[in-house]
Amino acid sequence: MSIQKSKAEIELMKKSSDILVNALIRIQEAIKPGVTTLDLDRIAESYIRKCGAIPSFLGYKSPYRGAVDYPGSICASVNNEVVHGIPGLRALKDGDIISVDIGVYFNGFHSDAARTFPVGTVTAEAQHLIDVTKQSFYEGIKNAVVGKRIRDISAAIQDYVESNGYSVVRDYVGHGIGTEMHEEPQIPNYSFKGANPRIVPGMALAIEPMVNAGDYNVKLLENKWTVVTLDNSLSAHYENTIIVTEGEPMIITETP
């Protein structure tokens, strides 16, 4: 497991990412009031398997004792759910927001991305949270260039989010990605102390701001997967897999 990926490995990651992007487009097209999160999960799994790939999250081992392996192909987190919402019979309602996190394993390599989508007509406040979260990703990757360090990405995300009156989640972070879903380095969405790797060409990074409308504190539900905001505020999530190049970073999971 190398932090720097070869050209051949990057090409394999692009193929995994192409499947992910098309699955995510299909999910987005299906989102409307009345659809269940399980419906969305089935759309994703069906398409991924049709392409000869495997959902990265399905069967993922929990770090918590007594927890079941992850039962879904996507994470579907609604409203105050931050990450790792388990797909089920919950029907989406007009005005909800839903964060869909999806991973694909194909030809030995993973890809990873997340989006928060509005369901029907949402409030201006909810849409603003979605927009700020997305833009914070782009502010962060301005620093995903050779010669910078991981903390530069983290600080840029935090500064942008907090300048808009929101908070970045501390307990969950971005990560390297490749033959494993979670590789080094970790990429917090806030300025941090400790090891601060230099950014080098060939790094494959999953950068994923998780942004709360209220306080940044979160809690884990009894299912030992779903994470919610402690103050019950809305939360949004935006993630892409990127490759560090000699120039600007290459986003390999970007959607139209």
Cα distance between residue 41 and residue 49, in whole Å:
12
β-pairing verdict for 167-168 and 204-207: unpaired
- Is 112 annotated in a binding site? The answer is yes
- Is 239 annotated in a binding site? The answer is yes
Cα distance between residue 243 and residue 230, in whole Å:
34
- Is 110 annotated in a binding site? The answer is no
- Is 175 annotated in a binding site? The answer is yes
**Residues 81 and 116: beta-carbon distance below 8 Å:** no
Nearest to 126 by CA among 189, 79, 164: 79
DSSP per residue over 99-116, as a string? EEEEEEEETTEEEEEEEE
**Residue 250: what are its φ and ψ, rounded to 5°?**
-100, 120
- Is 84 annotated in a binding site? The answer is yes
Known binding positions for substrate = 84, 182
Known binding positions for a divalent metal cation = 101, 112, 175, 208, 239
Known binding positions = 84, 101, 112, 175, 182, 208, 239
